Each structure stands twice: as structure tokens, then as C-alpha cells.
Amino acid sequence: MRRWGTALAAIVLASAGLAATVTTANAATPAATTASTDRDPIWGSGDKTAEPTDYRPLENIRAGQHACFDRLVFDVRGTGDQPIGYRVGYVDELRQDGSGDLIKVGGGAILEVRATAPSYDPETGGATYQGRAGQPLPGVNLTGFKTFKDARFGSSFEGDTQIGLGVRARLPFRVTQTANHLVVDVAHSWTATR
């Protein structure tokens, strides 16, 4: 009976030591959670997705600079009551949807952004955004940006619009939505602060 008590005590102490080690390791992991506390403070370099609930036309894409991150905004037509689906993640190369053609994107890393917002009106087929495959995004000037280096239109295929965002390096990003806007923020560094 005494052996079981000693063994149980040893297991409990070992578990406590392991838990302390894991907590210390997690605390030392760099994170950019201090970059902002807007709606979604979750930053990281892993893929981020949301399921589509509706397909509303893309009307514009624009970029902006903030103190600790660069921002890309997709303006989508509609009332804002339906979430915009998306898939955002780093890729080794950008391949155009439909054709599979390689699209060259400048920068140290490529963030592929797919939004369930076609560049045409699904009801009429008329163009709503003038992006051209492999070309820079219309009206987006990235001169002087700290993180963004290039932005190329991929395609608008089967209800999704695909773009390649060239960034300085593989940095943490987040995706948020406000009304009719899908917002992609990429931090200036892993330790960026407000």
C-alpha cells in the first residue's frame, strides 16, 4: 500500500513539473496579440477560414497602413447581415484558379486571400471589380508600406475572388469582418505593439 502512495505522489509531482514547463514554454512564444484589440485579437501565421453564407459581389479592394500592421480591405456589396466566407493562408506560389497558371508575386512570402465575393454580379454576370489575372490590384499603391510589397489579382472563379498578397516575410496576420468589409491585417513584426 505504501508503494502505491509513493508512486502516486511521484506521478503528481512529475505532472506538476511538466505543467509548469509547458506554461513557461508557452509564455516565451512570441505573439503579436498586442498589435490591436479591435474585434478579433487572434494573430498567427496559420490558415484562417470562414464558411460562406452568401455570394455578394466584390466592389473594391483597398490598402492602408497602421502603426503596427498593414491592412487590406475587401469592400463587398450588400446589407452586411451575411458573413463573408474566406480562406487566407501562406502559400509557396500563387496558382490561378481555373487555369493553374503561375502568377508571380513579389515579396519574401505570399499570403493567398480567397473571398466568397466574386468580381461580377452573380445575377447579371456584369463586372463589379476590374481585376485582371496576374496584374496589380487596381487602385492599390503599396509604396512606403512596411509589410505589404505586392498585391496581384488571381481570378474570380466559381464565386471566389483570389488574390496574392506579397509580404516582406512570413508574419502573423488576422482576418476580421465589419458590415460589408473583409479585413486582412498583417503585422509589421512578430513583436509589434500598438
> Of the CATH numbers 3.40.390.30, 3.20.20.140, 2.40.50.140, 2.60.40.3500, which one belongs to the domain with range 33-187?
2.60.40.3500
pLDDT, tens digit, 9 for 90 and up, residues 22-76: 322 233 223 333 444 344 458 999 999 998 777 889 999 999 999 999 999 999 9
pLDDT, tens digit, 9 for 90 and up, residues 111-161: 999 999 999 998 888 999 999 999 999 999 999 999 999 999 999 998 899
Q: Is the pLDDT of residue 171 over 90?
A: yes
The answer, as to whether pTM is greater than 0.85, is no
Residues 6 or more apart from 29 whose CB is under 8 A from it?
none
Q: Count Cβ atoms within 10 A of the Cβ of residue 61 and give its class: 0-12 exposed, 13-18 middle, 19 or more buried.
A: buried
Mean pLDDT of 9-28: 35
Task: Please report, for the chain, the start and end positions of each structural domain, with discontinuous segments joined by +.
Answer: 1-30, 33-187
Residue 169's pLDDT is 97
